[in-house]
Amino acid sequence: MMLRATPALSLLNPVHGEALGPLFSSVSSPSSFSLSRLNSSASLASSVRFSHAKKESSFAVCAASRADNSRPLTGVIFEPFEEVKKELDLVPTVPQVSIARQKFSDECEAALNEQINVEYNVSYVYHAMFAYFDRDNVALKGLATFFKESSEEERGHAEKLMEYQNKRGGRVKLQSILMPLSEFDHEDKGDALYAMELALSLEKLTNEKLLNLHSVASGNNDVQLTDFVESEFLSEQVHAIKKIAEYVAQLRRVGKGHGVWHFDQMLLREEGAVDAIAA
């Protein structure tokens, strides 16, 4: 918002203590209106004029005192930002362009939408894994619960990115989601190890895309976006990669047989402990 002094319109102050009689009059211009109060001698007056140009969004008030040789006391003009003025001219009723947007590049906006798509795709794959391990002929409830919670977490990340996109004045543009696998029983590795290795690759992919988003933000000198990615995602992503890498190592040790059931029971105990702490 720009502020500057103007001598064009004035507020004239009467001498303290003199009685004033009301007088309200309109000026010749149809786009302005004047309010005046004159005393009985008409030697001193106070007036306020509000002016609105036909194609300009501005409001001006200026103060002066005839008792002080009509020297202006104060003056302010309020002028909207250029994008606001443009918006008022083009769409006077329903805004189509964000007026909250500031220092937010198109490249950052596109990178955020790409990350939203990544999070939803990963969530979709995890949901397919949940459906597989929840079958009656697979019945690995620990893995099913783990992947269901992982799916919900990734979807939560996507929603958090969407909220941030809107906060910065960008536009969320959802893209297509690829159809995931429905079968995860690998001939050599079995289903648990194969699914967990796939989960590890998905977490590393997500981390790579987050680092790319951070790089785009840094390249555009967007400090707010870099801080958002660092504080909300990167540390958590490193922790997830470490945890799933440990699960992969453990499943490689136990093989495809009875050890998978014990691993599944361990997941159930861990998730139960987490729920108890949360409660």
Q: Residues marked as binding for Fe cation?
A: 119, 154, 157, 203, 237
- The answer to whether 192 and 143 have CB atoms below 8 angstroms apart is yes
Annotated binding site: 119, 154, 157, 203, 237
Dihedral angle at the C-alpha atoms of 175, 179, 180, 183, nearest 10 degrees?
170
* Alpha carbons 32 and 11: distance in angstroms, whole number: 15
| DSSP at 12 | B
Q: How many CB atoms lie within 10 A of CB 104?
A: 21
* Alpha carbons 162 and 252: distance in angstroms, whole number: 37
Distances (CA, A) of 106 to 140, 169, 174: 45, 11, 16
Structure tokens that stand for 222 in this block: 């967007």
**Where do runs of H (alpha helix) occur along 134-189?**
141-167
- Helix 141-167 with 106-133: angle, nearest 10 deg: 160
Q: How many CB atoms lie within 10 A of CB 53?
A: 11
- Helix 141-167 with 190-219: angle, nearest 10 deg: 10
Q: In terms of C-beta density within 10 A (0-12 exposed, 13-18 middle, 19 or more buried), how is residue 135 classed?
A: exposed
- How does strand 45-51 pair with strand 32-39? antiparallel
